[in-house]
Amino acid sequence: MRAEWEPDELIDAWTLTGSDWDLIANKTGVTRLGFTVMLKFYEIEGRFPAYREEVPQAAVTYLGSLVKVEPALFAKYSWRGRTIEYHRAQIRRAYGTRPPTEADEDRWAQWLAQEICPTETNRDRLAAALRRRCRSEKVEPPSTGQVERVIASGCRQFDDAFAATTAGRLGPVVCGRLEELLSRPNVLAELKSDPGPLGLDTLLAEIGKLSTVRALGLDEAVFGSASDRIVAAWRARAARMYPSDFEDCGEPVRYALLAVLCWTRQAELVDGLVELLTGLIHRINARAERRVEKELIGELANVPGKRGIFTKMVDAVLEHPDNTVRDAVYPVVPGGVKTLSALARELKATERAVAERVRYQLRGSYSHYYRRMLAPLLAALEFRCNNNAYRPVMDAIGCSPATRVPTATRSSTQPRRRCRSTGWCRRRGWTASSTATAGSSASRTSCAC
């Protein structure tokens, strides 16, 4: 119970009603005040205070003023003996409640495992749900230690049921693959590891991780009915474990932990590949722009007095229309051929020319070093777009040998996230409001979340 109470809150919660006065009518002195405090505390919290200091001093003072007993006498109220036991029994009869039994605790643990634990992992919220259940059944909630034991028992029952259900859905073939994965040295640690520095080697390493996870053949139906909180809790638990820790677990728990880890890592690897691809493209583009800019800066020299030079050239052409350029124009330009060459380079360095040179540099990068990432990347990701302007690009990706895999085969092992509206959409990175296989007219509607 909170310790601080405002005056109006004390009046609303701690004021004695007509039936309360009937219960304290035959009591006096310390007994009268102690019983009154126990009665109102039980009414508010649904349980008796565990110790004297748990009762707010402001409430003791307020109740003392109501029953005409000095509040300081509450310190003399005995928390052991027949008197307090009689008072507790009298209050229970007044509210129609009873203390909890071992059978109640077993029943509550089973209720938590079946109703609450499938959607909740926070122990404080589980305890609050248990106390609400006790009040609805008119049973005093257990002590703090008993509540913790009931919650632990309920969570353990749910974990066992979740592991058994997951192992059954996986089947013996996938479970055998998980065992093989666990036996391969350093593979599990590599799957858990974050991507390295941005680069081609990191991208290829992440594609290799994704291929390893997809080879397990995890089906969407395995965790289709599981809460995101539960999956996240099991994934966090598996991420902290070493191979020896998995081996110490029972088979159903071991398979469930490995499956959850690999399932969530599969979605994370797809997201990471998209981010790596985007970052790598930006890096290549920026490098090409810097290289072209450096080349242009080295080539270009700002020609001073361009307006005057152009004026002289026009006047010379008009005055000597029949002469050759060498005879008519060169003599009037300061610096002659050298100045004219500098002017030509400066005029040719237009935005379009710069874009063409950047494109040339990009093609050089993609055609050599970075070309190695294209085939495995196209095979690892499924690209979708709802913009008709990019339809030729999508058709080209669909015609690539790396992507000539049946859609059902590729998407059957890829995690998807349910969006707010109807339909499915790929997790982050790709948006789609209408998707269609290249070369077909069939489309499927999904949101652009």
- Among residues 110, 101, 106, 150, the alpha carbon closest in space to that of 128 is found at 150
Task: Calculate mean pLDDT across residues 311-327.
Answer: 88
Name the phi and psi angles at 336, rounded to 5: 65, -130
Residue 396: both structure tokens together: 């080209």
pLDDT at 59 over 90: yes
Q: Are residues 30 and 126 in the same domain?
A: no
CB 30 within 8 A of CB 64: no
The answer to whether residue 253 is domain-embedded is yes
pLDDT at 358 over 90: no
What whole-number distance in Å separates Cα of residue 424 and Cα of residue 418? 5
Q: Residue 350's pLDDT is what?
A: 59
Where is the domain boundary, 270, 299, 334?
270
Amino acid at the residue 362: L
Q: Are residues 118 and 17 in the same domain?
A: no
The answer to whether residue 423 is domain-embedded is yes
Domain that holds residue 19: 7-95
CB 337 within 8 A of CB 169: no
Q: Residue 396's pLDDT is what?
A: 80
The answer to whether residue 191 is domain-embedded is yes
Higher pLDDT, 306 or 18: 18
Q: Residue 440's pLDDT is what?
A: 34
pLDDT at 66 over 90: yes
Where is the domain boundary, 52, 69, 95?
95
Task: Calculate mean pLDDT across residues 132-154.
Answer: 92
The answer to whether residue 408 is domain-embedded is yes
Q: Are residues 43 and 107 in the same domain?
A: no
pLDDT band at 351 (very low <50, low <70, confident <90, very high): low
Determine which helix (DSSP H) or strand (DSSP E) holds 445, and give its type and residue range. Answer: strand 444-445
The answer to whether residue 229 is domain-embedded is yes
| Helix 337-348 × helix 306-319 angle, to 10° | 110
pLDDT at 114 over 70: yes
Task: Calculate mean pLDDT across residues 85-92.
Answer: 93
Mean pLDDT, rounded, of the chain: 82
Q: Are residues 48 and 74 in the same domain?
A: yes
What whole-number distance in Å separates Cα of residue 61 and Cα of residue 71? 5
Buried residues in 221-259 as b, exposed as e (16+ CB within 10 A):
ebbeebeeebeebbbebbeebebeebeeeeebbbbbbbb
Q: Residue 418 pairs with which residues in a beta bridge?
A: 424
In this structure, how many other beta carbons lie within 10 angstroms of the beta carbon of residue 182? 15
Q: Residue 379's pLDDT is what?
A: 79
pLDDT band at 326 (very low <50, low <70, confident <90, very high): confident
Q: CB burial class (10 A; 0-12, 13-18, 19+) of residue 137?
A: middle
pLDDT band at 63 (very low <50, low <70, confident <90, very high): very high
Query: What confidence tens digit (pLDDT) does each residue in 401-433 have?
Result: 655 544 433 433 344 444 433 333 433 333 333
Task: Calculate mean pLDDT across residues 54-83.
Answer: 93
The answer to whether residue 292 is domain-embedded is no
Least confident of 6-15, 59-68, 230-239, 423-432: 423-432
What whole-number distance in Å separates Cα of residue 447 and Cα of residue 449? 6
The answer to whether residue 338 is domain-embedded is no
- Among residues 169, 167, 166, 161, the alpha carbon closest in space to that of 118 is found at 161
pLDDT at 124 over 90: yes
Q: Are residues 83 and 60 in the same domain?
A: yes
Residues counted in the chain = 449
Q: Are residues 219 and 245 in the same domain?
A: yes
pLDDT band at 395 (very low <50, low <70, confident <90, very high): confident
What whole-number distance in Å separates Cα of residue 172 and Cα of residue 23? 66
Q: Residue 202 pairs with which residues in a beta bridge?
A: none
The answer to whether residue 339 is domain-embedded is no
Q: Residue 448's pLDDT is what?
A: 40
CB 38 within 8 A of CB 86: no
Where is the domain boundary, 64, 95, 126?
95
Sign of CA dihedral 123, 128, 131, 136: negative
Q: Which of helix, strand or coil describes residue 424?
A: strand
Q: Residue 297's pLDDT is what?
A: 55
**Domain count of the chain?**
3
Q: Are residues 229 and 150 in the same domain?
A: yes
Task: Calculate mean pLDDT across residues 16-43.
Answer: 92
How close are the terminal C-alpha atoms of the chain, in Å? 44
What whole-number distance in Å separates Cα of residue 270 and Cα of residue 275? 9
pLDDT at 392 over 80: yes
pLDDT at 438 over 80: no
pLDDT at 299 over 60: no
Q: Residue 345's pLDDT is what?
A: 72
